[in-house]
Amino acid sequence: MRFDSEQRLADDVLERRFTLDGIPGILWMPGAAPAPAPLILLGHPGGLDRMYPRLVARAQACAAQGWAAATIELPWSGDRPPSAAAEEVRAELRRAIQAGERVGEDVVDRLVLPLVDAAVPEWRAALDTLLALPGIGGPAGFAGGVISIGVRLAVVEPRIAAAVLFAGSFVPRAVVEEARRVTVPLLVLLQWDDEGNDRQMALDLFDALGSAEKTLHANMGGHTGVPAFEGDDGNRFFARHLR
């Protein structure tokens, strides 16, 4: 892990950009933490620069709770090398949505499954490194999307103690099945009129998740319209489970 830059933000939060095995990432540390901090992995749809304003706001809310937060770029996104296959299926997806067609299961599978397979080992490697840093003690949570990445992480990674999953992306049938093996407490966020999401599939996924404690919060509006109070609700959820 190489730290590339750092800056001190409002509320004394220390933001450090890093590169890990060639993958860009950002780590945010609370200004003064009395004990080793829990860590929230911030999920996103890819494109750290584009997502930065929302990510830093979420990281600062974590820091206000005394938690560290971190994220890494997704495969084939942002400054990372592109993938011809990923470009092709993204183009198919855009074409289907623009034509007002139902997005086929085959497109969803080819869009999401390779991404999950490539990303999850990277997030686990990031956990290895981040949890070994001074000031970070775990436990760890995952918050955000891509929801299929969050589901796989929750299944395979025992250090994820709880997750806030944003149901804002298409979900392969195979991931709905995989969701039955999740056992950690979950808060699932759904935007009821999300233009880039299949509401019924999100409800099916919520139903399938195997966790004994899972809560769905559905709000009005589109993909980017999650109300500010859901940030507070997510922090209260993590405060109950990250001990």
Total residues binding a second copy (CB under 8 A): 20
Nearer to a second copy by Cβ, of 26 and 164: the residue is 164
102 binds a second copy (CB under 8 A): no
What is the per-residue DSSP string for 11-41? GGPEEEEEEETTEEEEEEE-S--SSPEEEEE
Considering just the CA atoms, what is the radius of gyration of the chain in Å? 17
Q: How far apart are CA 20 and CA 126, in angstroms?
A: 7
Q: How far apart are CA 234 and CA 22, in angstroms?
A: 31
**Stretch binding a second copy (CB under 8 A), from 48-56, 87-95, 176-184, 224-232:** 224-232
Nearer to a second copy by Cβ, of 101 and 207: the residue is 207
Is residue 206 a contact partner of residue 166, using CB atoms and an 8 Å limit?
Answer: no
- Cβ-Cβ contacts under 8 Å for 220 (sequence gap 6 or more): 191, 192, 193
Member of 217, 222, 223, 231 binding a second copy (CB under 8 A) = 217
Nearer to a second copy by Cβ, of 71 and 191: the residue is 191
Member of 110, 152, 214, 241 binding a second copy (CB under 8 A) = 214
Provide the binding-site residues for a second copy, judged by CB under 8 A.
Answer: 192, 203, 206-207, 211-220, 227, 229, 232-233, 236, 240
